[in-house]
Structure 1
Amino acid sequence: MPNRLIKAVGVLLAVITAVAGCGGGATTEQTSAPRSARPPAAEPAPAGAPTVAPIGMVVPIPGGPEGIVVGRSGTAAIAVRNPPGVALVDSTTGVVRQTVQMGGAARHLSLAGVDGPVLVPLESSDELVEVSLADGNVVSRTGGVGRQPHDAVRTSNGTVVVTNEMGGGVVFVRDGAVVGSLPAGPPQPGGAAAVGKYAAVADVQGNGVWVYDGSTREQVAQGPVGTKLTHAVALSDDLVAFADTDGGAVLIERITPQISELARVESPGKPYGLAHDPDRRRLFVTLTATNQLQVIDVADPATPRIAGTVPTVQQPNSVAVEPRSGAVLITGSSPNGSLQIITEDLLPR
């Protein structure tokens, strides 16, 4: 039996044993134990105040900024948590153009296309909202997408896969309506990445990755990866980078849909936020324990090269790339909230 399959069987047996131990006769519908009874999930390090001044420009973003995406037009969308909303920001100046109020708070954001709409999974109201980057209009609002939906990505066939963090598994959405769900699988699904028609999902409780086919709405692969994962970002139609937050590394995996490791990059400092610049073939990783951004050259994904690190704002939980200029935008979640804009010329090469 191949070594990876042996590990996968071991992980599955461990999950079955843990579920059985949480209550007699538990079914797959009951994989979501109370938060207090769950194994601890991978989390970013609580960062102290920076000891080195962040490079680039820093502007205040009040309200506890978290997830960030930037469209081809240069408009950035930032999830803010208090009050809950999505701020539309000029990615060059950091000026907030508009704030779209939401009925719940989001942590992750993703783009359904190169210039939106923005997929906004609202953790506190169990909804998926699509927001236009151009004018802030709500394109669609879908309820019943699980308990505390954490991330959402659109696969190439148009199906949106939403990770059901507190319910386990995923929910499938098409044209603003729920069309299916799979409650089995990852006990606490977190970050997701779309690779062609597949969505690769990380389990933040352990080291599992689950792969779903958006066209058939089926689970098509699962396997152990790293120590404890959080975020994921697609590098191509068959490659995904995962932040192994507890393992201090970034792992590049090939999804065919079977999962195979292509490369590992050491990223000490609780790696968390991820962003990919396909035009300049760079991968960006926030190191939350040290208030740094790691820059990785992925021109050859099989042999990634660390280009260097740069100092960031406090608690750099999320990062995005402005696709036209190559500027990098980082949200600082502590203490009052900030946005750091690093122009391409300031990045290590």
Structure 2
Amino acid sequence: MTTLALLAGCSSGSNSDNLPTRDPAVAAVAPAATARPAGEVVGLPNPVGALLAEASTGQVAALEAGETSSTLILLDAATPNGTPRSVSLPAHGASLAQGKPGELLIPAPDRIIRVDIATATLTELPVDGDARSVQRRDDGTLLVGTADGKVRTLDPEGKLVRTVDGLASADALAVTEDHVAVLDRRQTSVTEIDLGKKNLGLALRAGDGATNMIADRFGRIIVTDTDGGELLVFSAGPLLLRQRFPVNSSPYALAYDQRSDTVWVTCTQSNEVVGFDLSTGIPTEVGRYPTVRQPNSVTIDQRTGDMFVGSAADGGLQRIRADDRKKGQ
């Protein structure tokens, strides 16, 4: 296991093959469910690997789990019991991200797949490498992280603008105003990137085995330390660890509810989703609900605040309405 404190990186002359690394942390295998999941559950044909509620339409996109699976399921959040749309992808997708309004972005080997929600049509942007993460910036440029630790900037037409390397892997990206952070699961670290100088910036150890990362509207960078059982909260510019809080039960997937400023974390060892208010100096638990088995994904419909949790075991999609969560608090 690598030991990281505070590092500085550079895109020139770096060699990710020589970095000290570990096997990436993964979600703990969930036990059989002992409590009825909160809210409503609809069945899907296959286990869910990733979820995203598209911001402008509220359509819920479910990416099937499995290294060989290449199917995307689209459901209307207003009527999740309706007939879902199935979209065949040209390659296995690693994750889901918001594109321009009405569009999904899916990183995959050698490409970024763009999905038009209304028509379910696909277009592809070629990428040099196995794309694992992608984020769209306000100017329409895309940041793409690859399995070999490179972060590439593409212009809105897909043309390569710059490449920053020096990491072991670029598994998740967070954009906060002018700052970009990268989660490296193989080094269990979070690193800032200076896009203007094409350099790696400050890097901090992210617990014992970090797996997922998001940003909130206040510019905080939130990470699940799955192996360490903690929720980590960083600030950007400069990168600093501001909060760490024991969650236990293998915290894994993350989602942020803008309406209530709540971060939701799935815990696969207990089949639960837990909400935290981060407004004070220490995270405060504001909700806890039983979930479908193996809750490896979670998303929030930002228009309504409704939460969706995906099962990576049984293929169930769970909906916990915002109004029901308020009643339970």
- TM-score scaled by length of structure 2: 0.87
Which is helix-richer, 1 or 2? 1
By how many angstroms is 1:245 displaced? 1.0
C-alpha displacement of 1:102? 0.7
1:127 aligns with 2:111: yes
- How far off its partner does 1:58 sit? 0.9
The answer for the alignment partner of 2:51 in structure 1 is 68
Q: Which of residues 19, 23, 28 is equivalent to 1:45?
A: 28
Is contact 1:153-1:192 (8 Å) kept? yes
Indicate which of 146, 157, 165 corresponds to 2:129: 146
Distance in 2 separating the partners of 1:8 and 1:215: 21
**Which 5+ residue runs of structure 2 have no aligned equivalent?**
none
1:162 counterpart letter in structure 2: V
Note if 1:235 corresponds to 2:221: no
Q: Identify the structure with bigger relative contact order (alpha carbons < 8 Å, sequence gap 6+).
A: 2
Correspondent of 1:323 among 274, 284, 302: 302
CA deviation profile, 1:27-83 (whole Å, cap 9, x unmatched): 7455289xxx96221110111221111111111122332111112322111112464
Q: Distance in 2 between matches of 1:209 and 1:96?
A: 40
Find out whether 1:281 has 2:251 as its counterpart. no
- Partner of 2:292 in structure 1? 313
Q: Hey, what does 1:344 align to over in structure 2? A: 322
Which residue in 1 is equivalent to 2:187? 206
Q: Which residue identity does 2:105 align to in structure 1?
A: L
Offset of residue 217 of structure 1: 4.5
Per the alignment, in what secondary structure is the counterpart of residue 318 of structure 1? strand
Which amino acid in 1 is paired with 2:35? V
1:169, CA displacement in angstroms? 2.6
Deviation larger for 233-242 or 79-88: 79-88
Q: CA deviation at 1:326?
A: 1.0
Aligned position for 2:94: 107
Cα distance in 2, alignment partners of residues 206 and 29 from structure 1: 14
Q: Distance in 2 between matches of 1:89 and 1:29?
A: 43
User: Secondary structure, in 3 states, of the residue corresponding to 2:275?
Assistant: strand
Cα deviations by residue, 1:282-313 (Å, 9 ceiling, x for unpaired): 11101111111011123x15332111311100
The answer to whether the 8 A contact 2:49-2:310 is kept is: yes
Q: Is 2:235 aligned against 1:254?
A: yes
CA contact (8 A) 2:145 2:152 kept: yes
Q: Secondary structure at the match of 2:171?
A: strand
| Equivalent-residue separation in structure 1 for 2:281 and 2:197 (angstroms) | 30
CA contact (8 A) 1:161 1:172 kept: yes
- 1:332 pairs with 2:315: no
Give the Cα separation in 2 of the matches to 1:261 and 1:38.
21
The reply to whether residue 173 of structure 1 matches residue 151 of structure 2 is no
Alignment of 1:25-36 (within 5 A): 28-29=14-15, 31=17
Alignment map for 1:2-13 (pairs within 5 Å): 7-9=5-7
Percent identity over the alignment?
A: 24
Cα offset for 1:163?
Answer: 1.8
Partner of 1:3: none
Q: Distance in 1 between matches of 2:46 and 2:159?
A: 30
Aligned with 2:6: secondary structure?
Answer: helix
SS at match of 1:144: strand
Corresponding position of 2:71: 85
**Alpha-carbon shift at residue 321 of structure 1 (Å):** 0.5
CA change 1:66–1:219 in 2 (3 A) is same
Cα distance, 1:216–1:130 mapped onto 2, change above 3 Å: farther
Quick one: which amino acid aligns to residue 7 of structure 1?
A: A
* C-alpha deviation, 1:142, in angstroms: 1.6
User: What letter is aligned with 1:341?
Assistant: R
Question: Any gaps of 5 or more consecutive residues in structure 1?
Answer: 1-5, 13-26
Q: How many residues align?
A: 316
Paired residue type of 2:56: R
Q: Which amino acid aligns with 1:264?
A: R
Q: Distance between the aligned counterparts of 1:174 and 1:96, measured in 2? A: 36
User: What is the alpha-carbon root mean square deviation over aligned residues?
Assistant: 2.4
Q: Per-residue deviation at 1:216?
A: 5.7
Shift of 1:238: 2.3
AA at the equivalent of 1:65: V
4+ residue segments displaced more than 3 Å: 27-30, 213-218
